[in-house]
Structure 1
Amino acid sequence: MDIKPPRRTFIRQMAASTALLGASAAGLGGCTSTASGLGDGVAAGFRHGVASGDPLNDRVILWTRVTPARTGDVVVRWQMATDPAMQQVIAHGSVVAAEDRDYTVKVDAAGLLPGHVYYYQFAVDSEKSVVGRTKTLPRADVRQVRLAVFSCANYPAGYFNVYADAARQNDIDAALHIGDYIYEYESTGYACGNAETLGRVSEPRELLLRVDDYRRRYAQYRSDPDLQAVHAAMPFIAVWDDHEFADDTWRDGSVDHKDGKYGPFALRKQAALTAYHEWMPIRVPDMSAPDKIYRSFDFGGVVSLHMLDTRLIGRDQQLMMSSYYDEHKHFDVEKYKQDVCSPRRQMIGHEQMAWLEGQVSRSNARWQMLGQQVLMARMEYPTAVVMGECNRSDFSALKKRAAADPSCVNDKEKRWLSGATLPCYLDSWDGYQADREQVFEMMRKHRKNLVVLAGDTHNAWASDLHDAQGRQVGVEFATASVSSPGMEGAYPDRDPEDVANMMVDLIEPLYYAQTSKRGYMVITASHEQVRCDWRFVDTVFNHEFTAATERSLRVLAGPGNRRIEECQAA
């Protein structure tokens, strides 16, 4: 029995610029993708749009890519203004777009005022880019912070309507992209069933291995008008997950990568790193260590946002449940529990853990927010389900039956109900429990209000976070995907709401699940609470779509709170 196939099979494991000035799309409304009109009037020299990222209170990264008319370096002019018409220019300069950086350019525009909106534009000769909008971080005098959170955007799986909806929001301070910004598969790979019909066949068509492969894939994604629109509308703060490299990446390899077939993984990792830093508006904390991207952002006295790398720099190789069966098909539960809790197993590495402790201990912000890739909450199944004695649906029904009439439960069912739970998604923090306990103890020791943001699974979740002693530590809000399919494919004949309820029944700390829709989260943080609004689109297979906020939950600050509560939708 192998419960460690490629990471995308979490679903099977757990289930077996118009945008700058557009109206807000809050509530339910009919929408049209920007795909039909964003490119009108855009100069051929800037076919991949503009972007900004990694804002601080006095600076922000500005990004674009030049499509050159000929080979050789290209001088690119840039300017920033306080108005979208670019009349009140407050900064300008020039930068070289070079072939060895794939003609991408970055400007670390400094000398800005905190908490201010700015506009920016690039030019080559007479060709001009679209105008982008960005915003610096505030200082202490801020009432609230609004963040959009994205994950898992698979180009062949559907249109980026989620990005189109987010681009129309006019009150977002920054967007967080917490991984799987691109996917590395060949054109016949994962979630490509509708790609021909949608006109979204992956390029290049081969598996990404070399730097030019990754560059071409980023170029295809960044040619998407909806992705261009959301980048032009707000600054991005991004970290990678595995698919920016290869499926289930860890420090020295990947579940899909075979050195004998594809060459050394180190070369592939370096190629992916190079393309990522070229194409993403990210400020590298240490130029000598491009794989070191963990960094913090302070939104006044409200939020200290710590962007973690749970994927590449410190992660040990994932465990596999299949290795705990002997020749008689007996599962060694005790050895399994011992290994997933081993202090020798690292998720983020000693250096990053020490850095996080320093950031948390020095922060005076009301909320410590972790922007990271994989689920930190305990997503453990009852042992009877993990061992195949009882399926998920039957166990969920059994719990309801036992609650209604305990006398109708037989001895075997009582044993199932009273049994322990086991982690089975070992690519998440469940497979690295010592590191998770260290993070939880850090937050308890420094008496912090903790909110964890996660992606990776293509489904939406909300969970209370408890340490190994069962003490409440904080909450986790996890976003659905931009386009990658969720659990709906595993239960094609079942009401998605029933599937979501089944998951909540099975997993003790899980408070909310949405397992069939594509969407994103809007996080609103104030001194009193952090609220999460889950927004979903009704389709990714048509440029005409509707979007709505379908669920809202919150957490209050303070040691007597720090747990999920209900709140009305916005």
Structure 2
Amino acid sequence: MTRHTTRRILTQGKIKSEASLSMDDIDKRLGSYHDPKACILDNECGVDSLSSRNGVPLRANAPLRTSPHAQDCYRVRHFSRDVLHLSSTSLWIVPIKYQCSPRCFSHFIWDLFAKPRVSKLHGITAQHSCLFRCLDFVHRAHVLHPLESLTFSRTGFVDSTSARIVFRNPGAQDPLQLIYTNPARPATKGIDVALLTEDSDYTGTIELTGLNPGTRYVYNISGGLAGSFTTSAESLKKFTVISTSCQKPFYPYSPLSHSLAIPGLSHLARYVESAPPEFILFLGDFIYSDLPTQIEPLTTKYYRQLYRQIYASPSWTRTLRDLPWIHIFDDHEFINDYHPGIAGGEDIYTSAMSPFEDYQGAANPPRSDSDRRKKYTQFRRGDASFFVLDTRTYRATPPAKADGGSGRRSMLGTEQLQELLVWITNEKGWKVIVSGVPMTRNWSEGSDEMDSWAGYLEERQVIFEALWRVGGGVIISGDRHEHATVKFSPPHPHPASHTIIEFSTSPLSFFYQPFLREYVSHDETIFNLPQGASKFGQLTFDSSDEKTWIVGFELVVDGEKVWHYNHSWKRM
């Protein structure tokens, strides 16, 4: 039988492009490659004639994937072997396995290449669209929103008799005045504010003292800024705290979205509207200096712009700005996996810390002494005592992964660790440790394992043993873009009631990793959930029962309540 048509010879080893060949011509051309596995592709038959020379259909024994190759050429890979090589002048099939329905594979080829000009146009259009979207995601906010003239105010740390207010007003020509009052009592008080300067990026923090417990106050700052706050009750037996970390504006990306929108803030705003928490703990990565890419040198000017962009987000509501916020930093306030030993570490720290202090740190709870380099702090609320760690400033260089985290290295530094141990021993009631990175090792055995407490296991053990001796404790952490509730049960002879429990929750608004995850159960996992681009947790501390105190935890994912857990603590 002789059939003439436009064909491409497909052999194992030879690459040819031919036209108007008879079957006899093909047999001659095959020569030494006349192998039962050698394939021919007949375009006249709509590519459905993909088969071996002896008529046995071929089957791929695993899914195929395409990847771009040089010179307008594509390869389909089967594991490590090329099985299909396509270009404008040649087609090459290295035969795979027998026993196939050829239609599936041939339709795959046909869909991609039956109309090469149209497909190429579509490909170019798709490539340009993808490039535009990437550039838009990375650069739009930076180009369109430098926000030199931004004005805002927000509430920082509040207790029963004092409150801290952060504000920015670059247009003020004269010293400002803050006036505050209790609406139930018309008398007002005023505080003069020093002239704001470029040295602080025109920000200021005011501390109001001598306030009444459990009282709502409103304030006005000359220049048009206004807000309110509520002082803490004097004796609290039940209160709530929200914890989260990690946010990136304009994520998930949509070309129609505002480039400063933060969807997680919108979820949080709706959640707190009806029942405001006592305060919000934001555990770091409030800004991202280097994701998705670092677009400017790491200067103070660059860090300031990142803070302004966050505070200019349309996702903020007045309710969120009026709630008390406590902020700590993690690595992305500096650069990914920051520690002092990193290349240029001291310069990076200096450039980043001034903006952090102006926008965040000055409104945090008062420090234990006048050392301004100390960013860790402690405070009480009801029957709970909180120690907010600084896990970046003093940490030793992380170990090599092969060390497995063993060795006498410190994340906290000698002085901070000693203050923490004294606090654990002396404080009464709940001991709540706030850490930017998780204490659990369960997120481990991956590329960044040693950046967490998994790289400082001996120091972690010292902290755990101190907590087990006094009845256990609560750890609140973020960083990993997942949620996990984990228990650290005490060894003998401590009773089981001395368990340490950790609630680690993030991100408020950024990516999560449903695939290629790194989770190994070194510690006892109560619950783990990676899914969700927005996650925060609400903790309820209830000490109304004299014998059994309860910490309740509610996990909110993408605006929905998805999990609740109660941890009871028998009082010593």
Q: TM-score, normalised by structure 1?
A: 0.65
Per-residue deviation, 1:548 = 1.7
1:479 paired with 2:505, answer: yes
Match of 2:525 in 1: 510
Output the amino acid matched with 1:455: G
1:163 paired with 2:265, answer: yes
Mapping of 1:200-239 within 5 angstroms? 206-227=295-316, 229=318, 231-239=320-328
* Contact 1:116–1:136 under 8 Å retained in 2: yes
C-alpha separation in 2, matches of 1:308 and 1:373: 7
Match of 2:124 in 1: none
Q: 2:177 aligned to 66, 77, 97, which one?
A: 77
Mapping of 1:249-288 within 5 angstroms? 249-253=338-342, 258=343, 264-280=344-360, 281-282=363-364, 285=367
Summarize the Cα distance change of 1:121–1:469 in structure 2 as closer, same or farther, 3 Å threshold: farther
Summarize the Cα distance change of 1:319–1:45 in structure 2 as closer, same or farther, 3 Å threshold: closer
1:452 paired with 2:557, answer: no
The Cα RMSD (Å) is: 2.9
1:341 paired with 2:341, answer: no
Per-residue deviation, 1:45 = 11
Match of 1:176 in 2: 281
1:369 paired with 2:432, answer: yes
* Contact 1:449–1:558 under 8 Å retained in 2: no
Mapping of 1:59-74 within 5 angstroms? 59-68=162-171, 74=174
1:556 paired with 2:568, answer: yes
Mapping of 1:88-487 within 5 angstroms? 89-124=188-223, 128-131=224-227, 133-139=228-234, 141-158=235-252, 159-168=261-270, 169=272, 170-185=275-290, 189=293, 206-227=295-316, 229=318, 231-253=320-342, 258=343, 264-280=344-360, 281-282=363-364, 285=367, 289-300=371-382, 302-312=383-393, 314-321=394-401, 324=402, 336-337=403-404, 340-342=405-407, 344-364=408-428, 366-379=429-442, 425-445=449-469, 447-466=470-489, 473-487=499-513
Per-residue deviation, 1:371 = 1.4
Alignment size in residue pairs: 404
Identity, in percent, stands at 20
Per-residue deviation, 1:290 = 3.4
Q: Which runs of 5+ in 1 are unaligned?
A: 1-43, 190-204, 259-263, 325-335, 387-421, 492-498, 538-546, 561-570
1:526 paired with 2:550, answer: no
C-alpha separation in 1, matches of 2:189 and 2:372: 31
C-alpha separation in 1, matches of 2:526 and 2:280: 25
C-alpha separation in 2, matches of 1:74 and 1:214: 27
Instruction: Report the 3-state secondary structure (helix = DSSP H, G, I; strand = E; otherwise coil) of the residue aligned with 2:555.
Output: strand
Per-residue deviation, 1:228 = 5.6
Summarize the Cα distance change of 1:487–1:468 in structure 2 as closer, same or farther, 3 Å threshold: farther
Summarize the Cα distance change of 1:115–1:423 in structure 2 as closer, same or farther, 3 Å threshold: farther
Instruction: Report the 3-state secondary structure (helix = DSSP H, G, I; strand = E; otherwise coil) of the residue aligned with 2:264.
Output: helix
Match of 1:391 in 2: none
Summarize the Cα distance change of 1:434–1:135 in structure 2 as closer, same or farther, 3 Å threshold: farther
TM-superposition CA deviations, 1:257-306 (whole Å, max 9, x none): x4xxxxx3312211100000111133562786433111112112x21111
Tell which has more relative contact order, 1 or 2 (C-alpha 8 A, sep 6+).
1
Match of 1:393 in 2: none
Output the amino acid matched with 1:512: F
C-alpha separation in 1, matches of 2:412 and 2:490: 18
Per-residue deviation, 1:104 = 0.2
Per-residue deviation, 1:49 = 2.1
Instruction: Report the 3-state secondary structure (helix = DSSP H, G, I; strand = E; otherwise coil) of the residue aligned with 1:243.
Output: helix
Output the amino acid matched with 2:280: A
C-alpha separation in 2, matches of 1:347 and 1:45: 36
Output the amino acid matched with 1:298: R
* Contact 1:45–1:68 under 8 Å retained in 2: no
Per-residue deviation, 1:57 = 2.8
Per-residue deviation, 1:535 = 0.9
C-alpha separation in 2, matches of 1:484 and 1:161: 9
Summarize the Cα distance change of 1:469–1:374 in structure 2 as closer, same or farther, 3 Å threshold: farther
TM-superposition CA deviations, 1:117-163 (whole Å, max 9, x none): 32323223xxx1142x3233443x21212111120012243442322
Output the amino acid matched with 2:424: V
Q: Which runs of 5+ in 2 are unaligned?
A: 1-146, 253-260, 544-548
C-alpha separation in 2, matches of 1:55 and 1:121: 17
C-alpha separation in 2, matches of 1:116 and 1:305: 23
TM-superposition CA deviations, 1:71-98 (whole Å, max 9, x none): xx642221222239x9553554433212
C-alpha separation in 2, matches of 1:64 and 1:212: 18
Per-residue deviation, 1:220 = 0.9
Output the amino acid matched with 2:230: K
Q: TM-score, normalised by structure 2?
A: 0.65
Summarize the Cα distance change of 1:450–1:555 in structure 2 as closer, same or farther, 3 Å threshold: same
Summarize the Cα distance change of 1:526–1:206 in structure 2 as closer, same or farther, 3 Å threshold: same
Q: Which moved more, 1:48-57 or 1:145-154?
A: 48-57
Instruction: Report the 3-state secondary structure (helix = DSSP H, G, I; strand = E; otherwise coil) of the residue aligned with 1:97.
Output: coil
Output the amino acid matched with 2:439: M
* Contact 1:295–1:306 under 8 Å retained in 2: yes
Instruction: Report the 3-state secondary structure (helix = DSSP H, G, I; strand = E; otherwise coil) of the residue aligned with 1:487.
Output: coil
Output the amino acid matched with 1:161: P
Summarize the Cα distance change of 1:105–1:423 in structure 2 as closer, same or farther, 3 Å threshold: closer
Output the amino acid matched with 1:355: E
C-alpha separation in 2, matches of 1:87 and 1:373: 42
Give the structure with higher Rg (CA).
2
C-alpha separation in 2, matches of 1:231 and 1:161: 14
Per-residue deviation, 1:444 = 2.1
C-alpha separation in 2, matches of 1:138 and 1:294: 24
* Contact 1:81–1:119 under 8 Å retained in 2: yes
